[in-house]
Amino acid sequence: MANELLEKAAHQRPATTRRGALERLFTLMFQGFVYNQIWEDPVVDLAALDLKPEHRLITIASGGCNVLNYLAANPAKIVAVDLNPNHIALTKLKLTALKTLPNYESFFHFFGRANDKANKATYDRYLRKQLDEETREYWEKNRPLRGKRINMFGKNLYRYGLLGRFIGILHAVAKLHGKKLEPILSARTPEEQRRLFERDIAPLFEFKSIKLLSKSPVSLYALGIPPAQYDELVAAGDPVSVLRERVERLACDFPINENYFAWQAFGRGYDVEHKEAVPDYLREDVYDVIRTRTDKVEVHHASLTDFLEAQPPQSLHRYVLLDAQDWMNNDQITALWREIDRTAHARDARVIFRTAGPDSPLPRKLPAEVLAPWTYMEAASKAWHGRDRSSIYGGFHVYARRPLS
């Protein structure tokens, strides 16, 4: 089932072609655990979504962080879907822990620190019996030479998954060249952030090893970037220059003491001492609010388009597509938007998504009649993109449904 969903989403060319072979290699890599956290800024999402208590939202789950973050806005329903069963298992674990763990400190210790062997005892005592059988089997599966998946929470969850390991490789390459990425996390002013970036991080983009990694589509699969999205990235410019610009923005454009995306990239974890550079769901004031709202969330292992096909007309208000459309060809995007338009509320609907390149793909990939009912909030989209602390995307886009007459 998982393989079929991924293949349907990612395979666009015959296996006998070079591009088709790359697509199948990506599918093979993406079948595993990819994202230990989501890389879309929830503060920007919530501003763009403008969630109201009556709204029903559907989102791609990914690491599950933003599902919990959206609960702070208290919408009527959040539906999380994902092609990757590993991400579904992580999302369900977070929701169960939010509901079941006895207090904030135990919750923060499990997901904020995520590096204490005592977390296994916490799982055994509070969580395992509350999980559905499939999710429990996932976390307790004994893998050859690696042990049970739940043990990741005793060894720093944020060093695992394709993304975690890729970041680890970048740290190792930096070390080989006599550089460390962690010092920038101690910066106290924008000027100091800039100085440390220029001293420790910027020179790395001149090294041949980093250039080879940046230009290799296979290495970027570890970031969850499929071949189609790699094409969008390359279209935005030389891959090395594009990645340097985005890392520079991550390092320099936002206060480092607040930017948990920068902490993950440069420190492989969160600010566990001051608890400033952490996702909102790991803040005590937010935790106290959202822990009673887990019944508002549904989690489904499915493709977004397939799930929408089974929903009633005009039954949803908000759609969070992450960067999924960068994976899609014209037919796939058209099928998705036909279902979005059919299920969208007649007077109040919005869609948000991100792209590797700066431009929205919809004007060039959607038939005019499919796009016609939707208004692109271009100026607002650009403003929100400028506020996105994750800094890894080229564009953030918001479309609003024109009210039906």
Residue 375, pLDDT score: 97
- pLDDT, tens digit (0-9, with 9 covering 90-100), for 174-218: 898 899 999 999 999 999 999 999 999 999 988 888 787 766 665
Q: How many helices (H) and strands (E) does the chain have?
A: 21, 9
Residue 252, pLDDT score: 97
- pLDDT, tens digit (0-9, with 9 covering 90-100), for 111-139: 999 999 999 999 999 999 999 999 999 99
* pTM flag (> 0.75): yes
- pLDDT, tens digit (0-9, with 9 covering 90-100), for 287-296: 999 999 999 9
- pLDDT, tens digit (0-9, with 9 covering 90-100), for 242-290: 889 999 999 999 999 999 999 999 999 999 999 999 999 999 999 999 9
For residue 393, give Cα distances in angstroms to 102, 183, 216, 320: 37, 24, 18, 15
Contact 62, 82 (CB under 8 A): yes
- pLDDT, tens digit (0-9, with 9 covering 90-100), for 13-72: 565 565 555 555 455 555 567 788 999 999 999 999 999 999 999 999 999 999 999 999
Alpha carbons 361 and 92: distance in angstroms, whole number? 32
Contact 258, 174 (CB under 8 A): no
Residue 403, pLDDT score: 81
Give mean pLDDT, residues 336-345: 98
